[in-house]
């Protein structure tokens, strides 16, 4: 039996490796794995093909009798938080994280907000390769995919509960956020503003082609961000990847602090 899941979900070049047909099978297998009447939260980043893949995954989930809720555009950590915080049985995020623009991916999240284990990934793969999926009777099929609101606000509120808000506000920090033209723009600037920071954004417009820079934040791709940070005399700059599950920091002197050291 082959293997679909890599180190971080299923990823591939859009419409070549990762097709809507495969996405539907992943959704159907994930729905079979979670079980009929499970509540699954789904979201995505801004990559091309995201809407197509999400609709295909949703079709598979619905066929398995799952109740699907649409989280819209949001960072991966935000969806993971929401799955656990709001009591969902699982979640799926359509993203290829830091990969080049031609890639997209599908990541399956467990009820505790953490990516499913390798053992559970193998169970989903077995369902796909054996085609032993569950198809719900027609009377059990959901007719609607409701939008699930309030996720961003709950996520930001949760973050603020872990820091000394008033102390940070008193510092009046100046902060630059570079979300790489993607979903980090929905959360990091808001957190910084709630902390009383003067916030600047670079590459803050949503664009699945990532025109500002490559989605992976490295010492090379963040050179311009570092230059802007230095020119603006900010206290801190943050560079995200495509789904904002990683952050690289730049100090007031424009020095990039590489997170993997």
d(CA 73, CA 205): 13
Alpha-carbon 191 to chain mean position: 17
Choosing from 38, 63, 97, 188, the catalytic residue is 97
User: What is the Rg, in whole angstroms, of the alpha carbon atoms belonging to the chain?
Assistant: 19
Residue 110: its pLDDT value, please?
99
175 φ/ψ angles, rounded to the nearest 5 degrees = -130, 140
Q: Where does the pLDDT of residue 196 fall: very low under 50, low under 70, confident under 90, or very high at 90 and above?
A: very high
Q: Do residues 116 and 40 touch, judged by C-beta distance below 8 A? A: no
Residue 1 has pLDDT above 60, yes or no: no
Task: Please report the domains of the chain, with CATH numbers, ordered by start residue.
Answer: 10-150 (3.40.120.10), 163-257 (3.40.120.10)
Concerning whether 38 is annotated as a catalytic residue, the answer is: no
Name the nearest CA neighbour of 111 among 179, 34, 10, 174.
Answer: 34
Query: 132-184 pLDDT, tens per residue?
Result: 999 999 999 998 999 999 999 999 999 999 999 999 999 999 999 999 999 99
d(CA 13, CA 15): 6
Residue 47: its pLDDT value, please?
97
Residue 258: its pLDDT value, please?
80
Residue 96 tokens read as: 């290829």
Q: Do residues 238 and 176 touch, judged by C-beta distance below 8 A? A: yes
Residue 8: its pLDDT value, please?
86
Tell me which residue has tokens 């009046």: 172
The strand order across the sheet containing 236-240 reads 198-201, 174-178, 236-240, 247-251, 256-257
Residue 259 has pLDDT above 80, yes or no: no
Q: What is the mean pLDDT of residues 246-250?
A: 96
209 φ/ψ angles, rounded to the nearest 5 degrees = -90, -5
Residue 7: its pLDDT value, please?
84
Q: Where does the pLDDT of residue 72 fall: very low under 50, low under 70, confident under 90, or very high at 90 and above?
A: very high
Query: 200-233 pLDDT, tens per residue?
Result: 999 999 999 999 999 999 999 999 999 999 999 9
Q: What is the mean pLDDT of residues 187-200?
A: 98
Query: 32-49 pLDDT, tens per residue?
Result: 999 999 999 999 999 999
Higher pLDDT, 3 or 119: 119
Task: Give the Cα-Cα-Cα angle 243, 246, 252 (nearest 5 degrees).
Answer: 120
d(CA 224, CA 123): 44
Residue 54: its pLDDT value, please?
99
Q: Is the pTM of this model over 0.85?
A: yes
Q: Do residues 38 and 89 touch, judged by C-beta distance below 8 A? A: yes
**Please, which residues bridge with residue 248 across strands?**
239
């Amino acid at each position: 039996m082959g293997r679909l899941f890599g180190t971080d979900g299923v990823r591939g070049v859009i419409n070549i490796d990762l097709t809507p047909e495969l996405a539907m099978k992943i959704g159907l297998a994930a729905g079979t794995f979670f079980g009929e009447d499970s509540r699954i939260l789904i979201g995505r980043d801004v990559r091309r093909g995201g809407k197509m893949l999400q609709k295909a995954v949703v079709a598979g989930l619905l066929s398995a009798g799952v109740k699907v809720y649409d989280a819209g555009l949001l960072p991966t950590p935000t969806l993971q938080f929401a799955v656990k915080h709001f009591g969902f049985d699982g979640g799926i995020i359509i993203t290829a994280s830091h990969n080049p623009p031609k890639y997209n991916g599908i990541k399956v999240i467990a009820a505790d907000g953490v990516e499913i284990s390798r053992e559970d990934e193998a169970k989903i793969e077995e369902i796909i390769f054996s085609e032993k999926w569950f198809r719900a009777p027609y009377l059990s099929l959901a007719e609607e995919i409701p939008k699930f609101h309030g996720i961003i606000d709950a996520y930001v509120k949760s973050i603020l509960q872990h820091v000394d808000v008033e102390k940070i506000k008193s510092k009046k920090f100046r902060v630059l956020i570079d979300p790489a033209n993607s979903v980090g723009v929905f959360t990091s600037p808001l957190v910084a503003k709630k902390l009383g920071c003067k916030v600047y954004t670079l590459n803050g417009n949503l664009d699945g082609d990532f025109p500002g820079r490559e989605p992976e934040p490295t010492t090379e791709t963040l050179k311009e961000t570092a230059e802007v940070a230095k020119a603006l005399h900010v206290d801190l700059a943050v560079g995200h990847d495509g789904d904002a599950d990683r952050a690289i920091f730049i100090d007031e002197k424009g020095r990039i602090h590489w997170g993997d050291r």
